[in-house]
Structure 1
Amino acid sequence: MTDSPRGLDLEALSAYLQREAPGLLKAELTGRILAGGKSNLTYEVGDGATSVVVRRPPLGHVLSTAHDMVREHTVITALAPTDVPVPTTYAVCPDDSVIGAPFYVMELVAGTPYRHAAQIAPLGPERTRDIAHRLVDTLVALHAVDPEEVGLGEFGRPHGFLERQVRRWRRQMDASASRELPRAEELSDALAAGVPGDGDVSVLHGDYRLDNLLVGESDEVTAVLDWEMATLGDPLSDVALFVVYQRLSQVTPGAGVSDVAAAPGYPDTDAMLARYTKASGRDVSHIGWHLGLAYYKLATILEGIHYRYIQGQTVGSGFDNVGTAVGPLLDAGLAALREG
Structure 2
Amino acid sequence: MEHLIMGGNHTQIEFILLGITDRPCAQTPLFVFFLMIYIVTLVGNVGIITLVRVSPSLHTPMYFFLTHFAFTDICYSTVISPRMLADLLSEDKTISFTACMMQFFTFAFFATVECHLLAMMAYDRHVAICQPLLYVTIISSRVCWQLVASSYLFAFLSAIIYTWCVFRGSFCGPNRIDHFFCDEFPVLKLVCSDTHSSEMIIFALFTINNVGTIVVILLSYISVLRTVLRMCSAQSRARAFHTSFHTCASHLMAVSIFFGSGFFIYLQPSSSHRSLDNVASVFYTMVTPMLNPFIYTLRNKEVKGALIKCVRRLFNQWQDTRLVSCRT
Task: State TM-score, norm by structure 1.
Answer: 0.26
Greater helix proportion: 2
Structure with the bigger RCO (C-alpha within 8 Å, sep 6+) is 2
Task: State TM-score, norm by structure 2.
Answer: 0.26
Quick check: which has more Rg, 1 or 2?
Answer: 2
